[in-house]
Amino acid sequence: MADEVPNPQEMINIDHRPPATGWMDTPTVLRKGIYCYAGNPKSLEYVGLPNPRQWHPEDDDWKLPENWVEIVLDGLRDRLDRFRSLKIFMDICVRCGACADKCHYFIGSGDPKNMPVLRAELLRSVYRKDYSLAGKILGKTVGARKLTYQVLKEWWYYFFQCSECRRCSVFCPYGIDTAEITILARELMNLLGLNIDWIATPVANCYRTGNHLGIQPHAYVDMLDFFCDEIEDVTGVRPKPTFNRKGAEILFITPSGDVFADPGTYTAMGYLILFHYLEQMGLDITWSTYASEGGNFGFFTSHEMMKRLNAPRPSAWGSSGSWAANAATCGG
């Protein structure tokens, strides 16, 4: 990974000018360092996502099922029926460009297909070809195009470059939300087994261990124990966190990153100190190793996965009979 990393002076040379060729005619080059690696088949198998297999984004053949076009178009039609947001966002963009320079991935990469308006057009052009009569007849004239292998690769490359932050939606006059479009495009790609490992393995970890880092219950306890050692070293007071305790008043769930890495570890130590104080005031707090992820990594995969990964939280609340407190996450 350390080969040819440019220095800051080179990296700031971002060209925001669009290329000479139209965006439909500019082939997508999957640039190393921009794309994330393909999802580990074991992670997909663990949560039952379709088409788990070894593949590499720079391969020509992504080993898709024969009828992948049908799968995607049927999936798109199904989602148009289930999500009014997608239907409206596909129809009312007027290409005013207010969103264009608002996406920090566009600002950072200079790649015009990272402009929210174009990111949505990647999907919208296929929608037009499939859904509207004018699109079927007039094709490129009305901005419609067929779903080809190249288009699918383009979708994968760009819809995994959106972090679903929704900043574009703030500036759009109608609130067209590229995050919504991205989630639904990723759902379509998940139907074919096209995801990135940066998401797929955390999802599998959340499913299995309750947190995206895959911290198993004993390790979780161990880590917090280590924090308690640190706190005792510095302050002379040792907090006594409890775990998975039924009947506690408050169930606290924090992002697992807080348990694992700086600067979150300082936040976690802060919680421990705070809870020690609150417990002396009479509040009854417990942590959970089963529901140990404040963020929902299903958000980066699909709506269904969001629901599946959320399950530990209500069930953990239910079992402990407590109020839940969910700490805000770093981004999820």
Cβ-based neighbour number of residue 28 at 10 Å: 17
Residue 285 is encoded by which pair of tokens? Answer: 């707090």
Residue from the set 6, 315, 328, 331 that interacts with other proteins by CB under 8 A: 315
Answer yes or no whether residue 27 interacts with other proteins by CB under 8 A: no
299 binds other proteins (CB under 8 A): no
| Residue 165 contacts residue 179 (beta carbons within 8 Å) | yes
Site for other proteins in 42-81 (CB under 8 A): 42, 48, 80-81
Binder to other proteins among 141, 233, 236, 282 (CB under 8 A)?
A: 141
Residue written as tokens 């992948």?
68
**Stretch 157-176 residues interacting with other proteins (CB under 8 A):** 166, 169-176
Choose the stretch contacting other proteins; rule: CB under 8 A; options: 30-38, 59-67, 154-162, 244-252: 244-252
Quote the least distance from Cβ 197 to other proteins, whole Å. 11
Q: Which of 49, 64, 118, 181 binds other proteins (CB under 8 A)?
A: 118
248 is an interface residue for other proteins by CB under 8 A: no
41 binds other proteins (CB under 8 A): no
Q: Residue 43: which of 52, 31, 35, 34 has the closest Cα?
A: 52
Residue 285, phi-psi category: left (phi > 0), alpha (psi -120 to 50), beta (remainder): beta
85/88 Cα distance (integer angstroms)? 5
Is 143 a binding residue for other proteins by CB under 8 A? The answer is yes
Pick the closer one to other proteins by CB: 216 or 267.
216
C-alpha distances out from residue 299 to 23, 31, 219, Å: 29, 25, 26
Q: Burial code of 107-132, b = ≥16 C-beta within 10 A, e = fewer? A: eebebbbbbbbbbbbbbbbbbbbbbe
For residue 173, the tally of other CB atoms under 10 A from its CB is 10
Cα–Cα distance list, 130 to 80, 115, 143 (Å): 12, 23, 12
Which stretch, 30-38, 55-63, 115-123, 270-278, contacts other proteins (CB under 8 A)?
A: 115-123
Q: What is the CA radius of gyration of the chain?
A: 23
Measuring CA to CA, how many Å separate 258 from each of 7, 224, 232?
31, 10, 19
**Least distance in Å: CB of 13 to other proteins?**
6
Nearer to other proteins, 64 or 309 (CB): 309
Contact characters 249-288, other proteins, x per CB under 8 A:
----------------------------------------
Q: Using the rule CB under 8 A, which residue among 147, 312, 322, 329 binds other proteins?
A: 312
| Residue 223 touching other proteins (CB under 8 A) | no
Identify which range of 61-69, 114-122, 232-240, 272-280 contacts other proteins by CB under 8 A. Answer: 114-122
